[in-house]
Amino acid sequence: EMMVLGSEFNVSAYAEDEHIVTTLEKGGLQVLSTLNQKSVTLKPGDLVAYSNRSGKFRHEVVQAADYSSWRYGYIFFNNIKVSDLLVKLERVYGVQFVMPDDSPYLNQRIRARFNKDESLDNILNIVHMLVPQFCYKVKGDTIYLNWHIFVRRSSFIDIIYLFLRQLHPLWRDCL
């Protein structure tokens, strides 16, 4: 439950998520747990994550504008795990990612900013540049991920590999 105190804020509340996340840009906001009647009052720049399971709050100070960047025409991901990024892309683009569960790269963190109108293909190519092992094939609304583990090469060869992959569409299939 929320009591708005003349504010600009953002709420992310999806049934499948463990937390409801609220960030405050301006004004004041009080968040109340109906589970245990505890509350927390937010100041501008505060983030509160409420656990649907435990009824507990987690509070931290953030750049609140990053969480409501969608209102300004872009999507900003700051130190987000690749697995969380994929969930957000599924929601925005109406696709489904199919991937091996045991990939160590799902926990890798990235930072990126995209225009809200950016094509999914462009975003996936950028993710590949940030995580070179990230390979994918698109079949309709389903995107199949494959994680390539390769022996470390020189930075020069990595740069050529990324460049060629951008030029030739077959490289996108991670030959």
61-115 pLDDT, tens per residue? 988 877 777 778 888 888 888 888 898 899 889 999 998 777 777 888 888 888 8
The count of other CB atoms within 10 Å of the CB of residue 24 is 26
- pTM of the prediction? 0.68
For 91, 118, 130, the CA distances from 126, given in Å and listed in that order, are 18, 11, 6
User: Tens of pLDDT along 3-41?
Assistant: 666 678 888 888 888 888 888 888 888 887 777 778 888
